[in-house]
């Protein structure tokens, strides 16, 4: 119990130190009354959508009846190339032949 509390406190302090050490762009500090989308706030929404679609794709890969090496390779392609990998998987993966899940013995 005490070890978990101590570890949690250390991790919180580490995260706070990293946040305070992050550089702040001069443009973001000088211009406060402009539209936030000009500073990349709209990209966060697109990033969340891509993340959710990648998670759905990886779950579909892991639930398929492919061999483990094939699952690993497809998952790595989607992980390292999120948008392109997802498109490649849905176009070229022959999903219909591998759509049922069979647990390993």
In this predicted model, what pLDDT tens digit does every residue of 46-99 receive, in sequence order? 888 888 999 999 988 888 888 889 889 999 999 999 889 989 988 888 776 666
d(CA 25, CA 34): 15
**pLDDT higher than threshold 70 for residue 26:** no
Number of residues assigned to the chain? 105
pTM of the predicted structure, to 2 decimals: 0.55
The residue ranges of every structural domain in the chain are 2-31+42-98
Dig out the tokens for 35 from the structure: 């539209």
- Please report the pLDDT score of residue 102 as a whole number: 57
Q: Place 30 in a pLDDT band, splitting at 50, 70 and 90.
A: low
With a cut of 70, say whether residue 103 has pLDDT above it. no
């Amino acid at each position: 119990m005490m070890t978990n509390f101590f570890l949690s406190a250390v991790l919180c302090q580490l995260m706070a130190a990293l946040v305070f050490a992050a550089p702040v762009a001069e443009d973001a500090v000088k211009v406060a009354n402009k539209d936030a989308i000009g500073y990349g706030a709209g990209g966060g929404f697109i990033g969340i959508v891509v993340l959710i679609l990648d998670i759905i794709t990886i779950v579909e890969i892991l639930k398929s009846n492919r061999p483990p090496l094939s699952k690993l390779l497809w998952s790595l392609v989607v992980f390292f190339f999120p948008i392109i990998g997802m498109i490649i998987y849905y176009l070229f993966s022959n999903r219909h032949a591998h759509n049922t899940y069979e647990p390993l013995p």
